[in-house]
Structure 1
Amino acid sequence: MSRIIRIGTRDSELALWQAKTVQRALSNFNYESELVPVKSTGDLNLEQPLYEMGITGIFTKTLDVAMIKGEVDIAVHSMKDVPTALPNGIVEAAVLQRASSKDILIHKGVQFLESEGIIATGSLRRKAQWLHKYPKHQVTDLRGNVNTRLKKLEESNWDGAIFAAAGLERIELKPENYIDLNWMVPAPAQGAMLVVAMEHDDFCKNALAQLNHKDSEICVHTEREFLKVLEGGCTAPIGALAKIQKETLHFKGALFSLDGSKKIEVEKAVLTKDVENFGRSCAEIILNNGGRELMAEIKSVLNN
């Protein structure tokens, strides 16, 4: 191909791994590309919890600006970091085949699970679910890329920290001392990679369409629709997971209070041919079962 596609990416080890994966996939279809790494606001400020920074899309905004300014042609994201509403002019171009959606606990021994302990995570969703299961534990904030967080855990007095399995597996940093948190509902689109392009750029959109994995796309779109209807622009402890088995999509979603004491959940299934608006209908079940009041309570606390 005559045109070289400029791939925008964050400059962390995991983000570069993801961008190189897209680069290799494009190469398989004879497209030339080059990586253009940038540093996001979320990577520069590691002192504040994400929800306190009040910026939607804190890990994607810098790349959005680079695309709109014409400095890069496409951008590769961990899809769970992408706001449910993309900026004007930017569109989803490919969802790659999803990796593991699990959360895992990296620990220094599991004896603390039966007593008191300190767990680290920068996620409201993980914090709320941990406290729901282990209300006597303390949860402390943890920020930074995967390598930074692993180092902070090693040097701390914490008993463990929660990570996405996919991120550790992709850059081969998953240690032996971990537990699968099968009971924890993952973030919507966790484990999925999204590539975005400019709406008017047919060349890039056509190239990326060849990388799209349809079943993964259906699942993450259902989860993100659920998230969008529930959160209304507010960060909240929301988990969602959709899986396709044969012709049926199985969905589980949950909303928690910030302290983990309250949990509202939904489990439903639908034929994949009838999946349109299914995420919305699952979110409405949550909202009509006390979710509206709980979301108002969460917004009140986070906005003060």
Structure 2
Amino acid sequence: MMSKTIRIGTRDSELALWQAHTVEKQLNDLGYTTEIIAVKSTGDILLDKPLYELGITGIFTKTLDMAMLSGQIDIAVHSMKDVPTALPKGIVQAAVLKRANVLDILVHKGDLNFLEKESTIATGSLRRQAQWLSKYPNHTVVDLRGNVNTRMQKLKDSQWGGAVFAAAGLERINLKPATFINLDWMVPAPAQGAMMVVAMENDDFSQEALYHLNDIETEICTHIERQFLRTLEGGCTAPIGAIAKHNEHDDTLYFKGILLSVDGKEKIEIERTVPIEEWKKLGYTLAQEILENGGSELMANIKKTLQK
């Protein structure tokens, strides 16, 4: 039964390798044999352009998709927030691991006075940029690219007040410094803090193995967030945040979603608590509500802004 070696594809950054090894260990504990294959990603090589200018959704997942479709690897491990909402033909979501910290954090240099005055903050994410400018309109936001280690180093070498990171990424590889604050007012990226493992649609062996790694609560919450994202953006990048949480006491789902203009001056938010039974279409329904309340115009303006 356990005859086949499952080849795990990953990017070669420290965080990506940590994620791959986490999946490997869980599969090994179930009795499966595995092998890790590191693949270089175009997203890691082209560091001089902001992600949204590259015109590719899923730049970090593309290389692994190619490796999978060409038969070099069997499964791939991704930060779920990097995975496009539409998977390539022939590839399926096989597991979502139990979610880690969902928050964004501000890493700073030990002095928070800069928050009160004109200052510069770094992030490569449109969502973080828009929410930051919405709260601190007198700040400047600069682009920050590269893997987590590179970005931490760039912050050290810079004159910036701070930079925004996903807490989960820094926690996973023990890079979270003492000088950080939780940005609990910032709505995270859809599926932030979760890891997704994909397999080939026709590969029953790997899918069966990964089935055991799936965390149903995380799967449901990330499904809602990604459905919200997909309904709003229709394939174009935009500043969108979404978080869904399950409340075990009364079996309800809490959801908060946000769509902002790139400069953060306009924002449309939605917040809702519903019975768990409504999860399947929740992301879609709430996104439609945003689109009807000015979201369609806002999305059109975002597209225009990004095409300039």
TM-score normalised to structure 2 length:
0.98
Residue 272 of structure 1 and its aligned partner are, at CA, apart by 1.5
d(CA) in 2 for partners of 1:248, 1:43: 40
Residue 300 of structure 1 and its aligned partner are, at CA, apart by 1.1
Task: Name the % identity.
Answer: 65
Partner of 1:281: 285
Partner of 1:290: 294
d(CA) in 2 for partners of 1:121, 1:59: 17
d(CA) in 2 for partners of 1:211, 1:61: 23
Partner of 1:210: 212
Q: Which amino acid aligns with 1:82?
A: V
Classify the secondary structure of the residue corresponding to 2:243: strand
What is the Cα-based RMSD across aligned positions, in Å? 0.5
Aligned length: 304
d(CA) in 1 for partners of 2:245, 2:177: 27
Partner of 2:189: 187
Partner of 1:144: 146
d(CA) in 2 for partners of 1:28, 1:186: 32
Can you give the 5+ residue segments of structure 1 that lack an aligned partner in the other structure? none
Q: Which structure 1 residue ranges, 4+ long, deviate > 2 Å from structure 2?
A: none
Q: Give yes or no for the alignment of 1:75 onto 2:79.
A: no
d(CA) in 1 for partners of 2:22, 2:93: 17
Partner of 1:270: 274
Partner of 1:128: 130
Which residue, 259, 263, 266 being the options, matches 1:259? 263
d(CA) in 1 for partners of 2:84, 2:231: 12
1:7-64 alpha-carbon deviations (Å, 9 max, x no partner)? 0000000000000000000011100101000111110011111011111110000000
Which residue, 140, 160, 166 being the options, matches 1:164? 166
1:96-135 alpha-carbon deviations (Å, 9 max, x no partner)? 0000110000002100111111000000000000000000
d(CA) in 1 for partners of 2:253, 2:87: 25
TM-score normalised to structure 1 length:
0.99
d(CA) in 2 for partners of 1:270, 1:216: 17
1:56-81 alpha-carbon deviations (Å, 9 max, x no partner)? 11000000000000000000000000
Partner of 2:254: 250
Classify the secondary structure of the residue corresponding to 1:290: helix
d(CA) in 1 for partners of 2:306, 2:172: 33
Which residue, 274, 289, 305 being the options, matches 1:301? 305
Partner of 1:21: 22
Residue 269 of structure 1 and its aligned partner are, at CA, apart by 1.6
1:176-209 alpha-carbon deviations (Å, 9 max, x no partner)? 0000000000000000000000000000000000
Matches within 5 A, 1:113-124: 113-124=115-126
Partner of 2:229: 227
1:220-254 alpha-carbon deviations (Å, 9 max, x no partner)? 00000000000010100000000000211100000
Residue 275 of structure 1 and its aligned partner are, at CA, apart by 1.1
d(CA) in 2 for partners of 1:233, 1:303: 14
Can you give the 5+ residue segments of structure 2 that lack an aligned partner in the other structure? none
Classify the secondary structure of the residue corresponding to 2:118: coil
